[in-house]
Amino acid sequence: MHIKTNHNLAETWVDDVSHLIHKILPEGNVASKSYYETEKLMHTLSMPYHRIDVCQNNCMIYWGDPDESLIICKFCEHPRYKPEKSSRKRASGTKRIPYKRMFYLPLSDRLKRLYLSERTASHIRWHAEHTCHDGKMEHPSDGKVWKHFQELYPEFASKSRNVYLGLCTDGFNPFGSSGVPGRNHPKRSLDVFLRPLIEELQSLWAFGVEAFDVSVKQNFNLKAVLMWTISDFPALGMLSGWTTHGRLSCPYCMEDTDAFQLMHGRKSSWFDCHRRFLPPDHVYRQNKRSFLKNNVVSKTGPHYRSGDEILEHQLGEFYGVQKTAECGGNGHVNNQIEGYGVTHQWHKHSIFWELPYWRTHLLRHCFDVMHIEKNFFDNIINTLLNVTGKTKDSINSRKDLVLYCDRKPLHLTQFDVGIFFRDLCSRSLNRSDIAHLKDNIAQTLCNLEKIFPPSFFDVMEHLTVHLPEEAELGGPMQFRWMYLFERFMFHLKKKANNKASVEGSIVEQFFIC
């Protein structure tokens, strides 16, 4: 089956080859004789998946008690099922067809299966068994977040078979950039679809599941924890509940940011937001000419906010930040939330807070280096080559340059963004190198601020300043970036051939891969 999907071979080809193999083998063999037989066999082996009905408008899923039995949406009153054709009477026992459906692939079965193969069983325990050289980080388990978690939950940490998970979300657009979803795009109703997963994670944390470790031939109780999510920047907003566009879009700086809206370009700019990350005695801090006109910087980088602080002081205080389960997938209305866009950008109480350990994690939502790196370099190249429509050096930005800066446009000197990304993404990181990276990136961004117009500095350029800190917390980047998942999803999407039911088609392909 794997060969078939890899080479896009026809089903009749599988029929013929299966038939041939069946004939070659000694008489009385049980090898399958056709594609159909093989597929049937695969289905008995493969993991179960659930089909869950969804409201047409993404308000809720018809899942769990008592929602499972509803026939109209409790928020928008849209019916659950398509009307039956009156001319054809429904035979008893046949199922009605819902307007929309999601597929859920339960996690526990997949984790259990990992311990059923000798090869993967030892790999899952590797994090607890490997030794790491002093000051080096080769795996997320060498990072601060992991160690902090293990200190807080020694009982969980003592069992090396327990699983540490990362959740990657990727934009799901099976038809390429031509885009179908439009009005029905899940956007802020993402939490609706995550509910089955969160409930399963809660149970995996509290009770675990019975599993069998084939390498030592032993039954054991398998528990799991979700360490963080990995996503591109817009999805990070959907997952965390902190809107990621506009002036307050940086989830580290939050309201303590110096970003501003450009008078002429009308965009948010992070120009001159990076001197605060430099050492206190750095000469750039006093410079009144090269950065924002007549501005000296004395403050330090933004204060780190713990999960408790966010949950109690921020989400607790702001009236109106609701959970999706309370208001429905489309119920989050920003302008009804006090202070939205001015002092905070919380649009929802994310479903992840329902995980009991989520508030104690030092890092919850990882930035994806892949997208940040790509956008950063796209911006540089487009501006340097002056690509029409994409350059950040337009008439408006020249006007802004005169308004905010006291300098003439400078020639480009050598800068080392490339070296920064190379060092940051190396396979193993030295703790002392990270300290250097922190200082260097602040300095590099300041150097860029001396060259490029304010409109160049959008949030992607700014986010790089937080990346070394994330590396320190979470460990090497290669375990927390999206390359892997993007490639896998691309592969799956290519194979999705039933355009009427794309999700189903992708799920089917997933089992064959």
Scanning residues 381 to 440, which ones bind Zn ion (CB under 5 A)? none
Kindly identify the residues of this chain, within the stretch 67-86, that bind Zn ion according to CB under 5 A: 73, 75-76, 78
Two tokens, residue 256: 């303590």
Q: Give me the least distance between CB of 291 and Zn ion, in Å please.
A: 17
The verdict on 372 binding Zn ion (CB under 5 A) reads no
When asked if residue 460 is in the footprint of Zn ion (CB under 5 A), the reply is: no
Q: How far is the CB of 386 from Zn ion (least distance, A)?
A: 29
Cα–Cα distance, 489 to 508 (Å, whole number): 13
Q: d(Cα 104, Cα 497) in Å, to the nearest integer? A: 20
**Any residues with CB less than 8 A from the CB of 130 and at least 6 apart, and which?**
138, 139, 141
SS3 for 278-298, per residue?
Answer: CCCCCHHHHCCCCCECCCCCC
Shortest reach from residue 103's CB to Zn ion, in Å: 19
193-220: burial string, b at 16+ Cβ within 10 Å, e else = bbbbbbebbeebbeebbebebeeeeeeb
Q: Does 447 bind Zn ion (CB under 5 A)?
A: no
The yes or no reply on residue 253 touching Zn ion (CB under 5 A) is: yes
Restricted to residues 323-352, the positions that interact with Zn ion (CB under 5 A) are none
Q: Where are any strands of DSSP class E within 130-250? A: 136-137, 163-168, 209-213, 218-222, 224-230
How, if at all, do strands 224-230 and 163-168 pair?
Answer: parallel
Q: Which segment (50-58, 198-206, 357-365, 450-458) binds Zn ion by CB under 5 A?
A: 50-58
The yes or no reply on residue 506 touching Zn ion (CB under 5 A) is no
Our finding on whether 369 is near Zn ion (CB under 5 A) is no
Distance CA 120, CA 313 (A): 43
Q: For Zn ion, which stretch binds (CB under 5 A), given 57-65, 97-105, 154-162, 442-450?
A: 57-65
Distance of closest approach, residue 250 Cβ to Zn ion, in angstroms? 3
Q: Smaller CB distance to Zn ion: residue 247 or 347? A: 247
Among 149, 228, 252, 421, binds Zn ion (CB under 5 A): 252
Q: How many Cβ atoms sit within 10 Å of the Cβ of residue 110?
A: 10
CB of 242 vs Zn ion, minimal distance in Å: 12
Q: How far is 315 from 359, CA to CA, in rounded Å?
A: 12
Q: Are 75 and 330 in contact (CB under 8 A)?
A: yes
Pick 53 or 508: Cβ nearer Zn ion: 53
Taking the complex as a whole, the smallest distance from the CB of residue 62 to Zn ion amounts, in Å, to 10
- Asked if 222 touches Zn ion (CB under 5 A), the answer is no
Report the length, in residues, of the chain: 513
DSSP state string for 86-109: TTSPPPTTPPPPBSEEEEE--HHH
* Least gap, CB of 330 to Zn ion (angstroms): 7
Q: Which is nearer to Zn ion, 96 or 110 (CB)?
A: 96
Q: How far apart are CA 483 and CA 307, in angstroms?
A: 28
- Cross-strand partners of 103: 51
| Helices 417-424 and 431-451, packing angle to 10 deg | 160
Candidates 164-172, 244-252, 317-325, 445-453; binding stretch for Zn ion (CB under 5 A): 244-252
**Could you say whether residue 57 binds Zn ion (CB under 5 A)?**
yes
Interface segment toward Zn ion; rule CB under 5 A; list 53-61, 127-135, 209-217, 378-386: 53-61
467 binds Zn ion (CB under 5 A): no
- Give how many residues touch Zn ion by CB under 5 A: 10
Using CB under 5 A, pick the residue from 52, 250, 297, 448 that binds Zn ion. 250
Alpha-carbon gap, residue 301 to 335, rounded angstroms:
29
Query: CB of residue 329 vs Zn ion: minimum separation in angstroms?
Result: 7
Q: Closer CB to Zn ion, residue 76 or residue 502?
A: 76
Q: Which of residues 130-149 bind Zn ion (CB under 5 A)?
A: none
Provide the binding-site residues for Zn ion, judged by CB under 5 A. Answer: 55, 57, 59, 73, 75-76, 78, 250, 252-253
